[in-house]
Each structure stands twice: as C-alpha cells, then as structure tokens.
C-alpha cells in the first residue's frame, strides 16, 4: 500500500512540475533545483503566500547538505514539493526529512505541518520529527497531534501496523542565537535572529552555515537591519517581498498593514545593497497585480546590482 501511495504522490508532483511557469529572464534558475552547486543547496519548495496561487505552494525553503535536508517553514503542499524535489536531492524525500524550523506561526507558514507530522510518517519516516520554532510552537504541535490521535491509533493498532516511533515529535522553542550545531562531514550550524513582523511578538529569520556556504532566510519581515547584519556578505539571501507599485494601489489600511508586516521590493533592493549577498532570491511574493519582471525592476531601483532571482517552486540556488 505504501508503495502505491508514493507512486500516486509522484504522479501528482509530475503534473505540478509540468504546470510550473518559466522564471523571467532576470530571475532564471533551474525550476527543479540545481544539483551542480557545491556544498549546501537551497531549494525553494514553496514561493507562495496566503493567496491561493495554483503554481506556488505555501512558503517553505529547504537546504540540503549531503544526505541531510533541513526544511524552513511548512506551507500547504510541502509534502508534494518535497517528493518532487527528491529526484534531484534524495535527502528531501518526505520520509527522510526530520528537521524543521519555523520562522513564525502565521497559518500560511504552518498549514503543511500536519503533512510532515502525519503524512511523511505514513510514507515511511521511522525516526521522530524534530521541530524548532518560536514560543507557541509546542502548543501548535500538541494540537495537531491531538487532532490526529485516532489516525495514529488506527495506523499503529490496525491492519497497517505502522511503527509509532516515526509519528513521535520533539519540539524546541528557541530564542535568538544558536539553535543547532551538527558536527561531521555534513556539519550544519543554524542560528535564529529576531525580525519585525507586524503584530507578532516573535518572528525569526535563520542563518545557516553548511557546506562552505552561509545562507540567510529572512522569514516574513518588514524592512530590517537585522537581515543586513545577519547576511553581511552571505552566499545566498532568501527574502520575502511585496510589490511597492502594487501596494500603492491598495487602500490606506492595507498599505499600513503590509508596510508593517512585509518588505517592498525597492526597500529590499536597498537592504540587499548593504547586506551584499552573492545571490538574492525573492520568495513569499505578494504581487498585488504586478509581474515577476516588474518586481525584479523594483529591487534594482533600490540599488542592488548582484545576482537576482524571482523564485518559482522547486528552483534551486
């Protein structure tokens, strides 16, 4: 049964890949994820927002170092995006992913968490899932596990006979600073830093040092010098963005809201100019009626002249 379920998911992912649009020239990248980058690989699993864009899954970014896959945020459809990415990066097979980091607890960033808790276990994960996140993460996970209690009981005590160990979870609520240091050939160090995200009391970005690269994931944030300090010449900066041109067409309340929660493309161009990443990757893209090329142009207007990519799902950097 498990084999047929994996084949079904692979079929769905094949359709998703064939439907993905091509990136704009200023944002070109292999939409299935590059496998030729030495060291740590960045794969955008979901580049979307709460907007129900069928081509963009909920926000999620993976970093692959050898046979280790780290997932940052778990938006809707993360399980299928992992399955699609696993052809290039076997460490991202859903049943092999055991380390998840949450930037904050907005629903669009965690709607796929139950897919990882329950779905990846059904697909064969046999070790506990580890989740790092801000205060409130444990309560969220406990609630999801309570919701799936009958499912776990039937799958372990019924005819499927699954091992319960793979359904277990370890939650660590973290503060800014070092949250993970994993030694060895594929050693990884992950640090959290605080970012401003509107009404949220706690939201994080993450700095990942692995495979000879330093990668910064902004999470959702208003324009913040914390990102500049965290990057400071990093190899890759994966940053959320909204179109300033589109935002100006919205009502006063919407402009105030998004200005407090998010970073406009022009603001990001100025931040990136000071942060000096080798590559700037735009994700969690709020278009507000604009297109990829115009958002890239707004970033350039802000002053950034380095490599710039407007992410699509499964693109790699």
Instruction: Write down the domain spans for the chain.
Output: 39-310
- 172 close to 131: Cβ distance less than 8 angstroms: yes
Model-level pTM?
0.89
Q: For each of the chain's 317 residues, which pLDDT tens digit applies? A: 334 333 332 332 332 332 333 334 344 444 444 555 568 999 999 999 999 999 999 999 999 999 999 999 999 999 999 999 999 999 999 999 999 999 999 999 999 999 999 999 999 999 999 999 999 999 999 999 999 999 999 999 999 999 999 999 999 999 999 999 987 766 899 999 999 999 999 999 999 999 999 999 999 999 999 999 999 999 999 999 999 999 999 999 999 999 899 999 999 999 999 999 999 999 999 999 999 999 999 999 999 999 999 999 999 99
* CATH no., domain 39-310: 3.60.15.10
């Amino acid at each position: 049964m498990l084999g047929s379920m994996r084949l079904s998911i692979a079929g769905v992912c094949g359709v998703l890949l064939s439907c993905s649009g091509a990136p704009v020239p200023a944002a070109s990248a292999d939409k299935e994820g590059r496998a030729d980058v030495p060291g740590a690989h960045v794969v955008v699993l979901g580049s979307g927002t709460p907007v129900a864009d069928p081509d963009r899954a909920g926000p999620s970014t993976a970093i692959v170092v050898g046979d280790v896959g780290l997932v940052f945020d778990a938006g809707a459809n993360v399980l299928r995006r992992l399955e699609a990415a696993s052809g290039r990066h076997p460490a991202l097979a859903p049943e092999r992913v055991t380390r998840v980091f949450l930037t904050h607890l907005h629903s669009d960033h965690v709607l796929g968490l139950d897919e990882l808790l329950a779905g990846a276990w059904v697909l064969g994960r046999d070790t506990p899932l580890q989740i790092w996140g801000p205060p409130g993460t444990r309560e969220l996970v406990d609630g999801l596990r309570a919701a799936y209690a009958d499912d776990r009981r039937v799958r372990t005590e019924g005819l499927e006979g699954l091992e319960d160990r793979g359904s277990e979870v370890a939650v660590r609520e973290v503060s800014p600073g070092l949250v993970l240091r994993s030694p060895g050939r594929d050693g990884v160090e992950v640090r959290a830093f605080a970012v401003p995200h509107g009404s949220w009391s706690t939201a994080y970005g993450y700095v990942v040092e692995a495979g000879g690269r330093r990668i910064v994931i902004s999470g959702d944030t208003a324009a913040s010098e914390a990102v500049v300090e965290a990057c400071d010449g990093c190899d890759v900066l994966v940053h959320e963005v909204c179109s300033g041109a589109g935002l100006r067409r919205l009502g006063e309340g919407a402009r105030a809201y998004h200005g407090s929660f998010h970073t406009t493309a022009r603001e990001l161009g100025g931040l990136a100019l000071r942060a000096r990443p080798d590559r700037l990757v735009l994700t969690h893209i709020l278009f507000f009626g604009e297109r990829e090329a115009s958002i890239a142009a707004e970033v350039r207007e802000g002053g950034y002249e380095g490599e710039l990519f407007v992410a699509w799902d499964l693109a790699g950097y």
